[in-house]
Structure 1
Amino acid sequence: MTVVAVLADPPREGHALSALAETSPLSAAEAAELSEAVLRDTVLAVARSGSDLLVNYPTDDQLPDAAVTDTPGAAELRAIVGDTLDSLDDVRFEKQVGSSFDARVGNTVTHLLREEGERSVAVVRPNAPFLTRTLLDGASMQLRSNEAVLGPSTAGRTYYAGFTEPIDFEGAFATPALETLTARTRDVDGDVEFLETQPTIATGTDLLDVVPEIRARVAAERNVPVHTAEVVHDLGLDVVEEDGEPTLVRE
C-alpha cells in the first residue's frame, strides 16, 4: 500500500486559505470553513482508498502566532478527522519536521521510504476537493512501475506527489512545481507518470474552476466532494459572466 501523507494545518480563521479571503468574496472565517471542508473530503478519499492515511500536522511552534489558540493544532485536526471518519484506528498522526514545506515533505517521504521501509509514499495538501478513492488507487498502481507519480493542477502546481525513491527535495516545489518535481526525479534517473489534471484551491481564481464543476456534478446527480459541496451551497457561491469575464459571486 502507498502511504498518503496529508500535510494539514488546522483550519483557523486568518491562516487557512488566507489568500482566498483576499482574492474572493469570502471572508477569512468562510475561507477557513471551506478549508476544513476540503480537509474532510481529502481524508475521506484517502481512508476509502487502499492507501494508508497519515495526517502530518505542524506543531504550534511552527504556526504563526495569530494561528495559535488554547487548543493545540494537533488536537483540533484529530477532532476533525475523527468526526469525519468512522474510526481513527487506522489513521496515523505525526508532527511535521522541517522549516519549510519542501523540507517537511522531504523529511516525511525520506523517513518513510528509508527508515520504515515503505514501498511508496505520496504527499497531498487538503486543497484538491476532487481527489477520489479511484484516483488514489490508480496512482498507487502506477507507483509500482514509476519512481514518481504526479498529479498536475493549474498554473504548474501539483495536487499529488508520490515517490518510491527519495529525490533532492530542497526547492523541489518551486514554481512550476510540476516541472521542478519532474526534473528532480529525472536527475536520479527515475521514471515519472502523470495523473489527470485536477483543480486546487488557493485563490479566488481557483474557485472559477471548482465552483462550476461542483454545481454541475450536483445538478447531474454525480459524485461530489460532499463537505466542500455543502459549503459552496451554504455560501451561495456561483460563477457568472460579468463584463465578458467569468466572475465568482454570492447568490
Structure 2
Amino acid sequence: MKNRITTYLDSLGKKKLLVPYFTAGFPTMGMTLQYIKAAECAGCDFVEIGIPFSDPLADGPEIQYASKVALDNKTTLNQIFELTQKVRKHSEIPLLFMGYYNPFLAVGVKKFLQKTADSKVDGLIIPDLPIDESTEIRNLADKQNISMTYLVAPTTEKKRIQTINNLTTGFVYAVTVTGVTGSGKKFSPETDKYLKMLQKSLNHRFVAGFGVSSPADAKRLAKYSDGVVIGSKLIKIIREAKTQKSSVTDIEKFLTGVRKSLS
C-alpha cells in the first residue's frame, strides 16, 4: 500500500500545506477525535497527533499543559492507536505521530512501529532523536511504509541540513525560531532569510512551525515554505473555549481562516 503522505505530496502542486497538531487525550480522547474531524472539514492536509510525555523538552507551556492533562487522564499508547483506527473509519487524511523517543523505547521500537502501521498512521516525528542515532527506527519504519520527518532549525549546520534532506522520507519540519514551541513568537527578516535558504537546500517539501498564531503568520511563513504547522495556538483555543462542544467549532473556524490565508 502506498504511503498517504508521500502520495499526497506527489500530487500537491502549488497548494500550501496546513498541518494542525493535537495532543492525544486532551482534553479527552473523544474530543481529540472531534478536533481531527474538524481539521479535515476546515481543509487541513495532514494531522499531527501528539503523544503525551511527562518531560516534553521542546514544547512550550500550552503543549506541556495539554500533555499533563492527557497523562492525568491516564492516556495510553493503546488508546492512541484506537483513536487513529477510529479516524480511519471515516477518513483517509494522512496522520503523523509526534512524540518523544522514551515512550516508544519503553514499548519496544519494533513493536511500536508495527502497531503504528496496523493503526494506519503514515508518519513519525521524534524531536529528541538525533538523526545520526535514528538508523534503526528509520529502517524499521521504512519496512512498515511509515515516513520519517526530521526537524531543522535556524541553528542547524548546512552539512546536517543535507543529511536530513537525504534521509527524510516524508517532508521536513522547519523550526522557525529557537527555543520551545508556543504561539506569539516573533518572526524577523532573519526568519525569511532562513526559509529562503531551505528552499534552495532541500528537495523535499518543508513546513514551517513554532509560533504560528494567526492566519497572517501562516501566510507570511508560507511565502517561503510549503506550508505551516500549528499546535500551541490550537491548544490555547481549546483551553479558552466556553465549552468542549464550542471548542470544536472554534477550532474549525480558526483553521478555516488559516486555510483561506494560504489560498
TM-score by length of 1: 0.32
How high is the TM-score relative to the length of structure 2?
0.31
Computing the radius of gyration from Cα coordinates, the structure with the larger value is 1
Richer in helix (by share): 2
